[in-house]
């Protein structure tokens, strides 16, 4: 399962491309169609603020990218829900769906541009216990992903709205479709009953107490064999790895064993949390310990969170950014494979009160973010390896606890991740290297010998 995250601007506009890694040895299959999610598209200047980042935009219009399956808007503010950008999209679409909270959808409907049938309002996520108490669902949007072959098990995309006071975050999971016939080959191999249980099912937490019923976490062999005979059964537990019979939901913050999962599973899904303004871990914990755990998409694949802490005057209506100091617990506890800077672009406010609304910004670079996450996860003693480039730092990824990669993508750059971590960077200029690392200098032209008085500029060499 591959997740490609592309930065469309220097703010919070991202394009997520989700696609399964199809084996070449599977006959009779077609290349699976990627599932694309567009986050907070802002391509044209907003009314209240414009970006001053010199990098600019990598596209001229939202129509320059492939048509997304989902467009998710995290806030009603102009730099997230931009009218000029969204109005460039067609009024109707048989494929696209626009998601947002009640305030976002109300504003979009007021434009009278889109067909109301493609706009969907997301309700705040709630735990299963609260959902049963209120006789409502958990408010998770579930979208099936068809399999590329006939008879293959469908995948699933889930989207949840996590709310904490005035801040909001978006939780996204993706389970890829199966590239084989589920009627001839079981989704999960349980043939060998004597084989040890996968680490995916045993190393989530120490089994201190059983806080969930056993019937919802384990299945007997006879039950599983019966379910294999019914491929069209709606029981989703067949498509998930087996969970232990006893799982403790307490004291997650002090434990990091949640990240000791088997990342070599063939059809492993991915998970993303998108929080442009920041959200504390207390608002993410119930969602992680229930939905992400049930989907078997932990450790967290990517955390899209603001790095810088930005505050505005008390009388301003601007929403502050809480910065990485709020996200370090989320990244460390959920074992995020990558933490990507979001909504950290430079902006200024137009109008007469522009100078009075200038925010106070506390910046955090890539090394600061790595130190904060390592400190929260107990890896701070290896910080000196990063700057000295010792072999110990280069081999830390082979240990059971993988460090979180901090990335600051420029406009137009992309990164590809799997459940194991960062797989590929499109550009080497994503500032994922260390400050002490100097790129190679291109050779001088023949016969040219610079002097201290010489003035010239190096051109970037090939990557």
Q: Which residues pair with 5 in a beta bridge?
A: 16, 415
Q: Are 371 and 250 in contact (CB under 8 A)?
A: no
HSE-CB for 273 with a 13 A CA cutoff: 33
Q: Which residues contact 354 (CB under 8 A, 6 or more apart)?
A: 348
Q: Are 459 and 375 in contact (CB under 8 A)?
A: no
Average pLDDT along the chain: 69
**Biggest CA-to-CA distance, the chain:** 83
State the Cα–Cα distance between residues 234 and 152, nearest whole angstrom: 14
Domain regions of the chain by residue span: 2-22+32-44+58-179+266-346+360-379+402-422
Q: What are phi and psi of 112, to 5 degrees?
A: 55, 40
Q: What are phi and psi of 407, to 5 degrees?
A: -130, 140
Q: Which residues contact 112 (CB under 8 A, 6 or more apart)?
A: none
End-to-end CA distance of the chain: 26
Q: Which of 281-290, 315-324, 364-373, 383-392 has the highest mean pLDDT?
A: 281-290
State the Cα–Cα distance between residues 76 and 15, nearest whole angstrom: 19
pLDDT tens digit string along 111-130?
Answer: 999 999 999 999 999 876 56
Q: Whole-model pTM?
A: 0.68
- pLDDT for the residue 22: 65
Burial of 379: CB neighbours in 10 Å, binned 0-12, 13-18, 19+: buried
Superfamily of domain 2-22+32-44+58-179+266-346+360-379+402-422: Ribonuclease Z/Hydroxyacylglutathione hydrolase-like (3.60.15.10)
Angle between helices 366-376 and 324-333 (to 10 degrees): 50
Total residue count of the chain as it appears in this document: 463
pLDDT tens digit string along 312-351?
Answer: 666 666 666 667 778 788 999 999 999 999 876 665 555 5
Q: Are 148 and 22 in contact (CB under 8 A)?
A: yes
pLDDT tens digit string along 419-449?
Answer: 888 887 776 444 443 434 434 444 444 444 4
Q: Are 203 and 303 in contact (CB under 8 A)?
A: no
């Amino acid at each position: 399962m591959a997740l490609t995250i592309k930065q469309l601007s220097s703010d919070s506009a991202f394009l997520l491309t989700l696609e399964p890694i199809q084996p070449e040895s599977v006959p009779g299959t077609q290349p699976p169609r990627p599932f694309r999610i567009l986050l907070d598209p802002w391509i044209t200047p907003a009314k209240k603020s414009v970006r001053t980042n010199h990098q600019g935009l990598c596209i001229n219009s939202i129509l320059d990218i492939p048509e997304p399956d989902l467009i998710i808007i995290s806030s009603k503010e102009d730099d997230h829900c931009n009218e000029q950008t969204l109005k460039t999209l067609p009024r109707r679409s048989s494929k696209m769906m626009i998601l947002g909270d009640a305030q976002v959808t109300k504003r979009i409907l007021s434009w009278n541009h889109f067909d109301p049938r493609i706009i969907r309002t997301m309700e705040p996520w709630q735990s299963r216990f609260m959902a049963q108490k209120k006789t409502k669902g958990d408010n998770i949007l579930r979208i099936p992903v068809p399999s590329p072959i006939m008879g293959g098990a469908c995948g699933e995309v889930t989207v949840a709205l996590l709310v904490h006071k005035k801040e909001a975050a978006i939780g996204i999971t993706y389970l890829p479709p199966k590239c084989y016939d589920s009627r001839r080959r079981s989704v999960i191999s349980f043939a060998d009953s004597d084989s040890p249980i996968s680490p995916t099912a045993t190393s989530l937490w120490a089994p201190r107490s059983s806080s969930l019923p056993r019937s919802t976490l384990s299945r007997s062999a006879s039950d599983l064999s019966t379910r294999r005979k019914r491929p069209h059964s709606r029981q989703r537990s067949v498509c998930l790895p087996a969970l232990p019979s006893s799982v403790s939901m307490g004291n997650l913050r002090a434990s990091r064993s949640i990240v000791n999962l088997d990342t070599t599973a063939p059809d492993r899904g991915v998970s993303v949390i998108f929080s442009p303004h920041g959200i504390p871990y207390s608002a993410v914990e119930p969602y992680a310990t229930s939905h992400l755990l049930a989907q078997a998409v932990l450790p967290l694949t990517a955390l899209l969170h603001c790095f810088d802490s930005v505050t505005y005057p008390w009388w301003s209506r601007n929403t502050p950014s809480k910065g990485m100091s709020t996200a370090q617990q989320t990244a460390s506890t959920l074992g995020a494979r990558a933490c990507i800077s979001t909504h950290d672009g430079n902006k200024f406010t137009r109008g007469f009160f522009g100078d009075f609304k200038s925010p106070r910004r506390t910046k955090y670079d890539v090394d600061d973010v790595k130190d904060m996450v390592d400190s929260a996860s107990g890896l701070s003693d290896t910080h000196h390896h990063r700057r000295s480039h010792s072999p110990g730092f280069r081999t830390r990824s082979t240990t059971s606890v993988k460090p979180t990669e901090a990335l600051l993508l420029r406009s137009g750059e992309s990164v590809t991740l799997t459940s194991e971590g960062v797989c590929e960077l499109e550009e080497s200029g994503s500032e994922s290297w260390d400050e002490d690392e100097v790129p190679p200098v291109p050779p001088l032209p023949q016969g040219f010998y610079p002097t201290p008085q010489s003035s010239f500029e190096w051109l970037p060499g090939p990557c």
